[in-house]
Amino acid sequence: MFRIPPGLVEKYGISGPRYTSYPTAPIWHDIDRATQLEWLASLKESQRPFSFYFHIPFCRNRCYYCGCNTHVTRNQAQSATYVEHIIKEIRQITKYHSNNKEVRQLHFGGGTPTFLLDEEFEAILGTMRSAFSFETDVEIAIEVDPRTTRPNQLAFLSELGFNRISLGVQDFNHEVQVAINRIQSEEITYEHLQVARSLGFRGINFDLIYGLPFQTLNSFEKTLSSVIQMRPDRLAIYNFGYLPNRMIHQRKIDPDSLPDRQTRLALLFEAIHQLTDAGYEYIGMDHFALPEDELAIAMKNRTLNRNFMGYTPKADVDLLGIGMTAISEIGDYFLQNEKQIKPYQKQVSETGLAACRGMALSQDDIMRKWVIRRIICHFYLSFSEFEAAFNISFSDCFQTEVEQLKTFQEDGLLAIASDHFTVSETGKIFVRNICMVFDTYLNKQDAPTVRYSNTV
C-alpha cells in the first residue's frame, strides 16, 4: 500500500492550482477585438505546428459531480446551429496562419462530443482538412460517454480519421453512480473498449474520480480491479472538486455522503498502489499509462507537455481553442472564448471570433511558466538548461524560491544538486505545492480570490 507520512498531508494539503497554464486563468483579464487580432497575427511568424481543441458543450443529462462547462439539452437542433458557428470560427482563424504549418493534434472535448450527428462531424473535419494540412501521424481524439454513443458511431468516427478515445467511467459502484446521476455498467464500458480496440484506436483512456459520494476504500478497490482487468492504455484519476457555491447542480449531492479527507487520501493511495503494481507508469498528479504508451514514453524522454487538456505527448505546438469557453495558447499569449453558448454564437456571428479574456505574458511570466511546466511534466529541472534558455543565472533569478525549496528537500520531496533538482516519488504527490513556490501571483494583494481544489 502506497503511504506518505500524515504530517506531510497536513502540511501540504492546501488549496492550489492544477497548472494547466501559467499564469493561471483567474489571473487573465478582459480583452477587446483589436487585441485578439493582434495576438492572432503572431501565428504567421510561428513555425510551431497546430493543435486544435473543439469544445462541444452538449449533454443530454446533468452529472451532478461535473465541473465542466456544459449545456444540457435534448434538442438536437441546437448542435446544428452551434456547428455552423464553429465552422465560421475555423474559417476566420485560417486567415492567421502560414501555409507551411501542419496540424499535429485535434481533440474534441465537452460536454459530450458524441452528441453531434455524423454529418456535423463530417462538416467540421471537412472544413479542417480543406483549410489545413495534417501531419501524417496526426492525433484526432475524442471524449466519449459510453451511455449515449449511437450504434456504429465509433466505427464512423474511425473512418473519419479519429484514432484516440477517452471513455468517461468515474466509478462502477451502483450507489455512487445513483448519487452522481450517472448510471453506467461495467458491461457497456467494456463493450466500447473492445470496439475501440478492434477499430485500431490507440492511447485509450479511462477517467476515474475519487472523493465521490458514498465511495469507500472497499468499493473503490473493486472499481480499480475491474478497470485493471479491462486494461486501458491510460488512466486519469481526478480528485472530485466539490464547489456547490460555483456549481449549483452539485448541491444535489449530500455533503454528508462525501468521504472524509483521510478516506479520500486512502482512495488516491490505493489507486497509485494498484495501478503501479499492475504495470502502469505513474505519470504524475493524476495520470497513469502503460509503459509502451506514448504518454509514458514522453515522460521518460522528458518531452511531455501539459495544457488545458491535461498531460499530452504533443509538445511545441500552437493550441487553438474553438467553441464556447475554449482556450488558445499561442506562443506567449492566452485567449479564452466567451463561456456561454449565446454570447459565443453572437460574437462569432458578428466577427467570426469570440475571445473575451486573455493575457500577454511578461518575461517574468515566460520564465516561470518554463520552470513550472518542467517541474509538473518532467519532475526534474536543470539550472543550466534554464540559463541557456534565458541567459540568466537560475539562483540569481529565483533566490527566494531556492531558499523555499530547501523545506521540500528536508521533507524528502526533492533532491537538490548543484545543477538541478529532482522530484522524489513521494514528492510527485505534492508537485502542485512545489510549482506554487514559483507562482508569483498567488500572494499578490490584488490577486483575485479563487477557491482551488486541495493539492492532495
CB 282 within 8 A of CB 291: no
Residue 183 belongs to domain with CATH number: 3.80.30.20
Residue 452 lies in a domain: no
Boundary of a domain, candidates 310, 340, 360? 360
CA distance linking residue 267 with residue 16, whole number of Å: 20
pTM metric for this prediction: 0.94
Model pLDDT, residue 44: 86
Instruction: Give whole-number Cα distances, 60 to 127, 141, 168, 192, 352, in Å.
Output: 26, 21, 15, 19, 28
Residue 441 lies in a domain: no
Residue bearing the bigger pLDDT, 299 or 444: 299
Percent of the chain having pLDDT more than 70? 98
308-324 pLDDT, tens digit per residue, is 888 888 888 999 999 99
Q: Where are the alpha helices (DSSP H) in 201-241?
A: 217-230
The C-alpha cell at 416 is: 537538490
Length of the chain equals 456
Residue 388 belongs to domain with CATH number: 1.10.10.920
409-448 pLDDT, tens digit per residue, is 999 999 999 999 999 988 998 999 999 999 999 877 666 6
Model pLDDT, residue 365: 96
Residues 341 and 413 in one domain: no
Model pLDDT, residue 10: 84
Model pLDDT, residue 2: 60
Residues 305 and 368 in one domain: no
- In DSSP terms, which residues pair with 103 in a beta bridge? 50, 134
Residue 171 lies in a domain: yes
Model pLDDT, residue 284: 76
**355 contact partners, CB below 8 Å, separation of at least 6:** 31, 36, 328, 335, 336, 337, 338
Instruction: Compute the half-sphere exposure of residue 408: CA atoms within 13 Å on the CB side of its CA.
Output: 27
Residue 113 lies in a domain: yes
Residue 202 lies in a domain: yes
Model pLDDT, residue 341: 95
pLDDT band per the 50, 70, 90 thresholds, residue 4? confident
Boundary of a domain, candidates 329, 345, 360? 360
**Mean pLDDT for the stretch of residues 10-21:** 85
Mean pLDDT of the chain: 93
Residue range(s) defining the domain that contains residue 371: 363-436
Question: Per the structure, how many domains does the chain have?
Answer: 2
Say yes or no to pLDDT of 78 above 80: yes
**Mean pLDDT for the stretch of residues 216-220:** 96
Residue 446 lies in a domain: no
Residues 52 and 130 in one domain: yes
Model pLDDT, residue 310: 82
**Mean pLDDT for the stretch of residues 283-288:** 86
Residues 292 and 374 in one domain: no
Boundary of a domain, candidates 360, 379, 409? 360
Residues 283 and 430 in one domain: no
Residues 214 and 125 in one domain: yes
Could you give phi then psi for residue 359, rounded to 5 degrees?
Answer: -165, 140
Residues 81 and 177 in one domain: yes
**Mean pLDDT for the stretch of residues 159-177:** 96
For the ranges 1-10, 73-82, 330-339, 430-439, the lowest mean pLDDT is seen at 1-10
Residue 280 lies in a domain: yes
Residues 169 and 124 in one domain: yes
**243 contact partners, CB below 8 Å, separation of at least 6:** 67, 250, 451
Highest mean pLDDT among 186-190, 265-269, 395-399: 186-190
Residue 370 lies in a domain: yes
Residues 301 and 396 in one domain: no
pLDDT band per the 50, 70, 90 thresholds, residue 384? very high
169-179 pLDDT, tens digit per residue, is 999 999 999 99
Residues 41 and 175 in one domain: yes
93-136 pLDDT, tens digit per residue, is 998 877 678 999 999 999 999 999 999 999 999 999 999 999 99
Residues 142 and 279 in one domain: yes
Q: Which one, of 34, 410, 66, lies nearest residue 240 by Cα?
A: 66
Pairing of strands 355-360, 71-72: unpaired
Residues 305 and 428 in one domain: no
Say yes or no to pLDDT of 1 above 60: no
339-362 pLDDT, tens digit per residue, is 999 999 999 999 999 999 999 999
